[in-house]
Amino acid sequence: MNRYLGIYRRCELHYIREELEKYGMLSLEGRLLPLIKDKCMSQEELGYMMNLDKGRIARAVSLLEEKGLVCRQVNEKNRRQKLLSLSEAGVEMLKNIEEIYRKWDNICYTGFTEEERALYQDFIKRMAENAAEYRRKNGGCLNG
């Protein structure tokens, strides 16, 4: 493993956790809200997008619902499935989360050109897709 990536991830997690704690949020909750913002989606879709098991997603969604940040509604096309969407409070919290991540990006991308930022994001996205695909083919979802 690239030791620099490990350093980056630990620093990122520390920063994000500290900032989200100010709003009573957990790190995973802060990663889920931006995914829900664009459309109603099921917990299964969230689990697939995050590459996390159903149980972990279910616990996080329950916490978000208790905090009044997400709403569940029955899917009219599949009545056994519930779809998630952001509540008004969730939309407001999302603004705070986006600001936290924007500030972190500004810290990390100091001295980078826009082209370098875009290139890095493309590389990381492709690496994540490769890793997730490998894991799906060879052993299920990641747990972290």
C-alpha–C-alpha distance, residues 82 and 62, integer Å: 12
| Cα atoms in the 13 Å half-sphere on the side-chain side of 83 | 13
Which tokens belong to 31?
């990663």
Can you give the residue ranges of every domain in the chain?
3-102, 112-143
**pTM assigned to the model:** 0.81
Q: Which phi and psi (to 5°) does residue 70 adopt? A: -130, 155
pLDDT at 117 exceeding the cut of 80: yes
Model pLDDT for residues 2-58, shown as the tens digit of each residue: 788 889 989 999 999 999 999 999 999 999 999 998 778 888 888 888 888 889 999
Which tokens belong to 131?
């890793």
CATH class of 3-102: mainly alpha
Rg of the chain over Cα atoms, rounded to whole angstroms, equals 16
- Total length of the chain: 144
